[in-house]
A and B are shown apart, each in its own frame.
Chain A
């Protein structure tokens, strides 16, 4: 739509115009703090992570157990029926070797992110996390892994209370 426009209206400014005082300006930094209410389901999920446990919820109607917990079954739209204690082991569903950080900086040693189907979910449902104590070349889909937790005093009720998942054969 703008392809035919050669000159846009307005006054273009460069960073140097601000630095050299060619233009008057004011700056404003709003205090954009927020608190996102985790709600009943995720709230308890995070609280249990702090205790070193992974929990899910079950829908009896659909006969499925899912993680992370949610209030409603998105298959049948009924409220979920039960809280289910899951184990902190699982199976690698898929994984990726990541050679850049979140802000696009190159890293030599890749971070290995993976979707891990948590044991006890039915049909298998995964959560995304990191893999550790494993060489990138050795990671295989279907590999059994176990959560490595932070020490209890360092946990804060976050998914990062699990440091990473490591292959069970290494235990």
Chain B
């Protein structure tokens, strides 16, 4: 299956939705690829009450002629005009019976490419963090939106960032008993953030509303989880604030240390990265001609900025430079929030000492902290310990080792997600590339 489009958008969160809808409304033939079951990304994930804004964009997307490949994961972009994707959940026996000829591999060609690949949570390893029922903060929220029942469950929410408030409030709404919300940032750090937020009263108001929703819980600053306890699953955590340490019984820990951008695809395409984020011009075009990047990969700035960026990139890509420029002013007005958020979520250096020698850092390959201390850099760690060599390709441990050791991951290689051998073989045939090499690369190289 190969199809041609004027514009392809990767990622159907707010930025990608806005880009796809805007380009399509301008009369272009647009494809929108996303690996989740429904559009909306993480912030507008179904299973919770969505803001009016989300419903409006969803309605515009539904009315549009955008070709949606929902539940498709892009595993490679060998060049700015070629996308290779695989359907999530390869057809099982039941599904195959229902639709025996359905494709699991797709190849798209496009004139312009808009990458809206979003962000993931940063996880930091600490003793016990691999225990079942220890999840990300956003991760736990996603699980609950996905139907996990949490009524009467005791939950500790920890880590850093405004996401903690949103998650605690949502879980409380679903009947969870929030035991404590632990923010690693200091009160002074949060106060500075609050002051800078004076220009964004809506966001401040929302924060206060969240706090009211989980008002039974303690909110602690300068506080984090130093250990999770349990045998086959979590039953307690040890919290630390200053010199104080104490244990708290709980059923779940929702713990995430803000967000890191998903830059694998832009990196694969050779887009310039600056300070960990994808560098763009005012129209959100990357250093690669015809490739745009919007939303969190250009700087963690939230929904409103993502929506504006998606529209700007789409307008620029369809040639409406003036309209793009006009929106550019709105974007610049929101960039202050990116900086404020970055400072508010700056990690306390003490968090580097959370992991002890036998703490697993790489969850895919069960590589422990003690083994990593010997390695001098990311590449050595991969070669000698297999850290980052598992199916997540270092997406989890990479951000952790960057913070702990200051290691930088090296070049991204295809496929950027593990893919079926059949997909790689099909892409070899379609692209006329060396087939045997494609099959071998089913597993990440060092």
A binds B: no
Chain A positions within 8 Å of B, measured between CB atoms, are none
Chain B positions within 8 Å of A, measured between CB atoms, are none
